[in-house]
Structure 1
Amino acid sequence: MYRVSVSSGMLALALLPVWTDGAVAQIVAPPPVHVSESKSVPTASPSSAPSTPALTLPQALERALAANPELSAARREAEAVAATIRQAGVIPNPNVSMAVEDRRRDTRTTAFELSQPIELGGKRAARVAAASRAYDTAQAELQAKAADIRALVITAFFSVLLEQERVRLANAALSIAQRGTDIAGRRVMAGKVSPVEETRARIAEAGVRLESQQAASDLILARRKLAATWGGNAMGMQAAVQVDGNLNSLPPEPSWDAIYAQLQDAPLMQRARTEIQRWQAQVDVEKSKRIPDVTVSLGMQRNNELGRDQALFGVSIPLPVFDRNQGNLLEALRRADKAGDELAAVAIRLDGELAQAYTTLHNAREQARVLRDDILPGAQSAYDAAARGFEFGKFSFLDVLDAQRTLLQTRTQHLRAMADAYAAAAEIDRVLGVSASASFNPSK
């Protein structure tokens, strides 16, 4: 399963004291999580800010499904296998032969002969059936690869969306920390607070600056991964990829019965079944080879010594005494048995992966909901109360820092829960197929 993570460095935002000249003002809390096209996202340098329109998830999927190199290779493989069906249906070519007896013209005998092999035992039909089953397997592999690419794009898209939000919060926090350091210095010079407060402010600013730089670096890496899904240059495309989406939108949670019913139609299950059919068709091919083919020949012979032409007619039939294709037949039978075992193994593996992804999706959704509806409002209220109380001298500055740390930790946990939810939804999408769970979209 693909995973996106949130750096624990966001906890450094908990040390952001902000003062005013007359009284201690409330520390500005980060606004609700939302990324839109109208908001620019800072990166490592101002010159690297993306200038192209923000990319939505459907657009990213369209790019990847059209230009991903691995998916293109799978398409080429399916096209190549399709050509084998045409080749399997052709009949053997005829043979033309000439024989000359005696070097002397007067007694020379010259023979011309045309021979045509005739396949018996249904060889051509068996070859066509085997090639058709191989084409079905290639198509199932193409569908499975498309599902993998779709899941990869969804995870990479949400990773960029998450890192954009981290950069925005980190840069906003850095601006607050810088302002707090400046005000703390002026209050120390005025003798209103201890120099320790200025030291705390500078330490907080340094920590937030490191977090801002780390967030900008992580955003570049996330953009490179997303651009790589459609074959974009890793070093040249990262600045051009900006995504548009709403981090408050959770992926839906379908019922277990609904998604489990689709498991039998998953691309990997279809591939395993078509692999069984392919080797069963190959068994028929090997069985047909046990029946020898007949070669019919027709020609004319000129005998100069007798001065006349003679017609030639012949039939050639191999005798299956030693080679009855027994080894190839046994191999095909064992390959068919192996394909049956692989189908059972794939079914067990996909069942476990689907159950794990569904459980992760359920837990992540529940965690994100509790954090958003219950814990975040409480942490925000506690922070507001601590800030107001400190302003009126009822609480110490450490109380404000603790409340702010709790608030920002909760926001970080909420982002991590959202990331886990979308990663699990993408995994379900990968297991069930490209169009199995297309209902979720973080761009909405």
Structure 2
Amino acid sequence: MVRSKHDGYVFQVKTFGKAVVAGSLLVTGCSMNPFITKKEIAQPKSLVANSKIEKPEISSEGDTEFKSISTASHNTSASDIEKTESVKLVDAEEQLYPTPLEPIQAPAAGDQPVLTGGMSLQDLESIALANNPAIQELAATTQKAAGYREQVTTRPNPTVGYQGQQLADRGTDQHLAFIEREFVTANKLELNNRVLNATLSAQLQELESQRFRVRTDIQIRFYQALALQKQLDLIAEFSQVAEKGLDFAIQRREAGEGTRVDVLQSKILKSEVHLTQRQTRAKLAAVWREIAAISGIPELEYTKLEGTLPTKIDVVDWEGLATHIVTSSPEYAAAHDRISRAFAGLERQEVQPIPNMTALLGAGVDYGTNSGMLNLQVGVPLPISNKNQGNISAAQAEICRAQMEALRIKNAIEERLAVVSREYDTATAAIDLYSTNILPSAKESLDIANQAYQAGEVGFVQILLARKTFFDTNLKFVDAQSQLAAAQSKIDGFLLTGALKSVRDDSGDASLRDQTFSQQ
């Protein structure tokens, strides 16, 4: 159990085996606003399928900490090889390299093995969606907007009072109790509701956009970490080969069959593999820290991830996809809600000059005549000097501004898609070429180099370089898979990224109600 408190936020994180599940997030002063209805909270049907949060599965195994992957070392004793018999050296090399390392082929979709016992993408998404501070912040802005919407539709309170006249003239004094009420005209309160309802709708779409941003950023880093895990496995495997190669080079030199160049080249190869291993571990640790920050739980412990990297390559109609993303994006939907708000605001300002009516009704007694009395008073302000011209002009300009903002967002989506299309097409080209050409060629080159070395046609350095080439191509293939997964995640998330950037608080205010009753 990890428990921490930061500025009113209390996080409880339970670690069960290799699955980490976020506990309750208690936000001081934040609770569900009663003015937001269940219907408004429900997500649009077109987005529900993409927004489903899977409940994370909890493993019963023990806690797992982030540990470096150790490299197994194997030292071959010089006594195991007869220094004077070169045939023994050949036999020893055959034992050292019984078969070449198998290349990573691109299996068909659905045939890839899945790591078991780790944390899945759905687990991380569930944690992030529950604890990301930007989502909590936007949830609060929707509550604000709902509160303002409720406030601007409330009717005025009546005024009750007492009036006394001629109180100093005993026997002729008059006493009156009255009630005064302002009656709103031109359907102003309903128009107020339309303006703030569009505001709330826009904020709900902004909240949905933030969920997609969090989900996309988590997916990108999940696949980055998954690729780094896979690369560490490859590095650990090749590290054993490099270690054995160095030992064998030393033994060959001591037996008079090798040269110092062979030993130095073997040392260089081993050092390069070790450096790549350290750098990959550092990258994985950094990516995990990013995941923890996006999830809103900096204390989130590293757990090995389970999943598969994509290999299936689909041909994408980028123009059709651009149209789909624009029409389905909650970011663009929020912009259209703000256009609706601008038109509602103009309609509201146009009726503002129509005056409300104030009525006063009083009842009392006149002791001068010993009879009852009634008093009725009705009044309206005259819209002579102030006809709300400035607010109407500003509302017209707001319509233009909101329309241009929607156009800007549309163009921004298309611009982001152009960048992602380049990343996607570049990654698919690399995966296709690596799986069909480069990796098979690297494997064949390694096999030929092994055979040529055993036949005495090439030197020991050449076999090391062939293995290094094979090793590098496998790592690059995994990199291409990671890039493809990142591009696909951006497409699935409507190109929305930036889980921790500042959010848009456009929840409005209750000034329309003040304007309704000021009449000035």
TM-score normalised by length of structure 2: 0.70
Offset at residue 312 of structure 1 (A): 1.7
Bigger proportion of residues as helix: 1
> Of 207, 231, 236, which residue of structure 2 is paired with 1:142?
207
Tell me what 2:51 maps to.
none
| C-alpha contact 1:133 1:277 (8 A) present in aligned 2 | yes
Q: 1:430 aligns with which of 473, 477, 493?
A: 493
1:32 partnered with 2:110: no
Letter in structure 2 aligned against 1:143: E
The equivalent residue for 1:11 is none
Equivalences for residues 18-417 of structure 1 within 5 A: 21=81, 22-23=89-90, 24-25=93-94, 26=97, 28-29=100-101, 32=104, 36-38=114-116, 53-101=117-165, 104=168, 106=170, 109-233=174-298, 236-240=299-303, 242-247=304-309, 249-250=311-312, 252-256=314-318, 258-262=320-324, 263-303=326-366, 308-417=371-480
Cα distance in 2, alignment partners of residues 171 and 35 from structure 1: 19
State the Cα distance separating 1:118 from its structure 2 match.
0.4
Q: Greater RCO between the two (CA within 8 Å, min separation 6)?
A: 1
SS of 1:229's equivalent in the other structure is helix
Query: Quick one: distance in 2 between partners of 1:356 and 1:200?
Result: 41
Shift of 1:307: 5.1
Q: Give the distance between the partners of 1:248 and 1:427, measured in 2 at CA.
A: 14
- Contact 1:383–1:400 under 8 Å retained in 2: yes
Q: CA distance change for structure 1 residues 146 and 253 in 2, over 3 Å: closer, same or farther?
A: farther
Cα–Cα, structure 1 residues 357 and 248, in superposed 2: closer, same or farther, change >3 Å? closer
Distance 2:244 2:464 in 1: 16
Rounded to whole Å, the distance in 1 between the matches of 2:270 and 2:180 is: 91
Query: How big is the shift at 1:306?
Result: 5.5
SS at structure 2 position matched to 1:121:
coil
Which shifted more, 58-67 or 377-386? Answer: 58-67
* Runs of 5+ consecutive residues of structure 2 not aligned to the other structure: 1-75, 82-88, 106-111, 498-520
- Distance in structure 2 (CA, Å) of the matches to 1:156 and 1:429: 15
Hey, what's the Cα distance between the residues in 1 that align with 2:392 and 2:319? 42
Q: Is the contact made by 2:363 and 2:373 (CA closer than 8 Å) also made in structure 1?
A: yes
Tell me the distance in 1 between the aligned counterparts of 2:313 and 2:360: 71
Instruction: Name the SS of the counterpart of 1:322 in structure 2.
Output: coil
**Contact 2:104–2:439 at 8 Å: present in 1 too?**
no
Structure 1: which 5+ runs fail to align?
1-17, 39-52, 435-444
Question: How far, CA to CA, are the matches of 2:496 and 2:273 in structure 1?
Answer: 42
Contact 2:180 2:359 in 1 (8 A): yes
What amino acid does structure 2 have at the position aligned with 1:279? A
Q: Between Structure 1 and Structure 2, how many residues are aligned?
A: 402
**C-alpha offsets along residues 361-420 of structure 1, whole Å, 9 cap, x if unaligned?**
233212211111111101110111112211221112332233233323322332222222
- The DSSP-based 3-state class of the residue aligned with 2:384 is coil
Asked whether the 8 Å contact 1:170–1:215 carries over to 2, the reply is: no
Aligned equivalents of 1:186, 1:309: Cα separation in 2: 126
User: Which deviates the most, 120-129 or 81-90?
Assistant: 81-90
**3-state secondary structure, aligned to 1:239:** coil
Q: Is the 8 A contact 2:181 2:360 kept in 1?
A: yes
Q: How far off its partner does 1:127 sit?
A: 0.7
Per the TM alignment, residue 219 of structure 1 is displaced from its structure 2 partner at its CA by: 1.1
Mean CA deviation greater in 96-105 or 339-348: 96-105
2:310 and 2:322 map into 1 onto residues whose CA distance is: 27
CA distance in 1, matches of 2:181, 2:238: 85
Task: Using the aligned pairs only, state the percent identity.
Answer: 21
8 Å CA contact 1:121–1:288 kept in 2: the answer is yes
RMSD: 2.9
1:5 matched residue in structure 2 = none
